[in-house]
Amino acid sequence: MGARLYDKTPAILGGHELVDEALPKFNTIGDEELTAVIGQLSSVFALSGYIGGVYKGGYFVETLEGKFSEAIRCKNSVAFNSATSGLLAAAYAIDLGPGDEFIVSPFTMSATAAAPAFLGATPVFVDIEPVTFCIDPEKVKSAITAKTRAIFATNLFGHPAQLAVLRKLADANNLFLIEDAAQSPFAMEGKKFAGTVGHIGVFSLNVHKHLQCGEGGICVTSDDTLADRMREFRNHGELFQDGRIGLNLRMTETSAAIAGAQLLKAEKIITGRIEQAQMLLNGFDEMPGIKTPVTRKGCVHVYYTVPFLYDKSIVGISRDTFLKVVHQEFFQHRKKTDVNPISHGYVKPLYHLPAFQGLPHHCPVAEDLHNHTLVYFENCTYSPSVRQLSQIAKVFEKIIDAAMRGDLKDD
């Protein structure tokens, strides 16, 4: 691996960067998807199978939905043009609206809270667990009121929330459990896939997810009534018999063909992300100042990202300084050819957004993660070589050693 790997001087102080080649992008689009698109465009089927009075979509949409249901072991799948649309449809299907409250983590993509709030419901932000970063069931229990209609649980970074506990809590209080499974396709809790424990699970097919078709989403449910409500809602609500209306949230046949090709190789894709994460983690054993992610017993983590907890009290410099120095060790940073593969903080807790300011909250775990301790590798953005995965771990080791020697200081 050459002398550069063992250069103890941080690049920011004049040493050589350790990751000396650009990290390849994570890209699973190939011949299978090209063949699927050509087949769809060459077929007798139109680009969209939705017409007046028909709400189930076309051949490729219905095929994708059937295959996804088989793969995820759930009765109904409903395809959408995005997971955000799926979240909106899920909220609509359970009749969430003005006067209702829904419990949600503040440490999730904004759509998890924004979609149900768009219908007039009020988010109640509940803190997360410090280990898995998913919503804390004990805090959920304390937040339930007479106005609560649903719990929206995000399976964050590829790890399932405590889904069985949350479902039991929801059932005991006559609530709906909606799973945001955008980052966790084929993650598992026990013998069940994430997304299938709640009343509705919402998956993403966005370009930067494990499985993708550019833009798209799929909702799953074992409840036929909820499935029908979502199907009608995505197609203007034309077939609703009770006077309700809907929107155009439909997936195209071309997107469905691409997603279907991705689904055929889902096991290979998911396994590859898990193996990459585990190879990276092998280099972090007992590294001072870094705590590696924990997988709850009986769960399968699919590592949308690989999160770490950073301890300033051990390393001696702030997380922001640490990341600034780490980024200098990547070829991309020197050439300014790419974004940094090591990120920090994830999202600012959602109650800081202007739309949600003023809502009560007490979420010290989420605040600490965002402001001080969370660092993560973008596992579904890059596909480093085995050599580069080893180099990334060496980057952390090199910078931590330099900081603990006193060579690095906060600005």
**Total structural domains in the chain?**
2
pLDDT at position 245 is: 86
Tell how strand 122-125 and strand 101-104 pair up: parallel
What are the tokens at 411?
Answer: 């600005």
Q: How far apart are CA 107 and CA 337, in angstroms?
A: 29
Q: pLDDT value at position 3?
A: 37
Contact 263, 252 (CB under 8 A): no
Helix boundaries (H) for 24-132: 31-42, 59-72, 83-93, 111-118
Whether 308 and 393 share a structural domain: yes
331 in the same domain as 289: yes
Domain boundary among 231, 264, 297: 264
Say if residue 147 is in the same domain as residue 248: yes
Q: Would you say 240 and 254 are in contact if contact means Cβ atoms under 8 Å apart?
A: no
- pLDDT per 10-residue tile (average), the chain, 411 residues: 58 90 94 96 88 81 98 98 98 97 98 97 98 97 98 98 98 98 98 98 97 98 96 84 84 97 98 98 94 96 98 97 94 67 95 94 97 97 96 95 95 81
Query: pLDDT by residue (tens digit) across 145-193?
Result: 999 999 999 999 999 999 999 999 999 999 999 999 999 999 999 999 9
So what's the pLDDT on residue 4? 40
Q: Which of 234, 264, 294 is the last residue of a domain?
A: 264
Q: Is residue 410 part of a domain?
A: no
Q: Which residues pair with 125 in a beta bridge?
A: 104
Task: Quote the domain boundaries for residue 119.
Answer: 31-264
The residues, any chain, with a CB within 8 Å of residue 143's CB and separated by 6 or more, are 103, 124, 126
The answer on 141 and 232 residing in a single domain is yes
For position 158, which CATH number holds? Answer: 3.40.640.10
Task: State both tokens at 78.
Answer: 């409903």
Locate all alpha helices (DSSP H) within 119-265, ordered by sequence.
137-143, 163-172, 224-233, 253-264
233 and 277 inside one domain: no
For residues 11 and 222, give the distance between their C-alpha atoms in angstroms, rounded to a whole number.
Answer: 54
Residues 289 and 171 in one domain: no
Tallying the residues shown for the chain, one arrives at 411
Say yes or no: 101 and 235 in one domain: yes
Question: Alpha-carbon distance 184 to 160, whole Å?
Answer: 7
Is pTM beyond 0.85? Reply is yes
